[in-house]
A and B are shown apart, each in its own frame.
Chain A
């Protein structure tokens, strides 16, 4: 795998993360399902997962960048697993709407576990680390992925501030604290 191929894969990963975050946003806006603190923390971990690929796209693939993503994926997996355990008992309705039979946190656990495996697989291909291509301009496809993630992260920060206001987010949020009249 060349560095250029690795950069394209990193850009694809950013598009995948953007899709996961947009799906959460879609449920929040269209179905009026406000994310709980653990749900928000999983979104934070998805955002954290994106920093490594952005560094790879700008500076070229390096093991340290992948290690950052691995750490973020491990943290995200731990948070998602905690929420799965909270709702694992028979008869528990879970939190929020199920997507293809699984709740967002269950999908999050699967995606974080898959991310750990995929990053490890990509790191097996050492040719990507041999030639530094930081001086080259990244392709437009990758640049667009980076800016998409930056915009989605800013939108999540704003939406979370509207939801929680200046206090700690409640365990079962029912309204946007910063919007008068709720929701």
Chain B
């Protein structure tokens, strides 16, 4: 569900970029990208068995 929402938000950003005002496209893009990062941190919970 979470990724389906992200796809839909970026779809809205694309449609705004192509058919609507530039500011709306940029705003939708920023919101969607921030939510993508948040969703990444939600899923990236497994410990990496690595040492650097």
Contacts and interface: CB of A to CB of B under 8 A. Distances in A.
Given A48-B33, A75-B36, A86 B46 contact: yes
A168 B8 CA distance: 16
Given A38-B44, A79-B40, A86-B48, A71 B33 contact: yes
B3 A44 contact: yes
Interface of A: 37-38, 40-41, 43-45, 47-48, 50-51, 54-55, 58-59, 64, 68, 71-72, 75, 78-79, 82, 85-86, 88-89, 146, 149-150, 153-154, 156-158, 160-161, 164-169, 171
Contact of B14 (A51, A82, A164, A167): A51
Contact of B4 (A50, A88, A157): A157
Nearest to B7: A157
Contacts of B33: 48, 71-72, 75
A169 B3 contact: yes
B10 A55 contact: no
Contacts, number: 106
A149 B6 CA distance: 15
Nearest to B34: A75
Given A150-B14, A150-B18, A55 B7 contact: no
Contacts of A59: 22
B42 to A, nearest CB: 8
Contacts of B11: 47, 150, 153-154, 157
